[in-house]
Amino acid sequence: MQQAVSSRQENSIVKFTDLKAWQEGHKLVLAIYAITRQFPQDEQFALTSQLRRAAVSLTSNLAEGFSRQTRADTLHFYAMAQGSLTEVQSQLLIARDVDYVSAANTQKIADQTIVVHKLITGLMKALRAGRGASK
């Protein structure tokens, strides 16, 4: 019995960085920063900035949603995170189509966006079902 309690405590989510969706989103942010370093200098204030801001917004909205006191507020911020993720997906396709990102790198990052999308969707479903982090 003690072992079950300990493993449950180890898996408990007490801060936003414990969220698997945030962790995978953070990996996505790092990948976006890595690829955008290779973009042309004249894109610094255009697609580079837009992609980075959308990726950062994704994890920021997850963090902010986690700290909200009501289920409705939390769901709102998680939905905003999904919107930012969709922005990343769209902008990634543009970067690929203008030859800033290889097809292989595009696919790798696109796969990560799918992972993050599924995790956020799971968080939202759990919250709606009343199983989310004490909201």
In a domain, 6, yes or no: no
In this prediction, what percent of the chain has a pLDDT beyond 70?
89
Residues in CB range of 44: below 8 A, 6 or more apart = none
pLDDT over 60 (residue 9): no
Domain limits at 87? 17-128
Domain contains 55: yes
CATH of the domain at 109: 1.20.1440.60
Distances (CA, A) of 73 to 24, 49, 66, 98, 120: 22, 28, 9, 38, 15
Whether residue 5 lies inside any domain: the answer is no
pLDDT tens-digit profile of 87-125?
Answer: 999 999 999 999 999 999 999 999 999 999 999 999 999
Domain count within the chain? 1
Which comes out higher in pLDDT, residue 5 or 63? 63
Residue 53, domain member (yes or no): yes
Q: What per-residue confidence (pLDDT) applies to 13?
A: 86
Q: In which band, very low, low, confident or very high, does the pLDDT at 3 lie, cut at 50, 70 and 90?
A: very low
**pLDDT score recorded for residue 11:** 65
Reported as a single tens digit per residue, the pLDDT across 54-89 is 999 999 999 999 999 999 999 999 999 999 999 999
Per-residue pLDDT tens over the stretch 122-131: 999 999 998 7
CA dist 19 and 69 (Å) reads 17
pTM of full prediction above 0.85: yes
- With cut-offs at 50, 70 and 90, classify the pLDDT of residue 1: very low
Q: Is residue 60 part of a domain?
A: yes
**Beta strand segments in the chain, E:** none
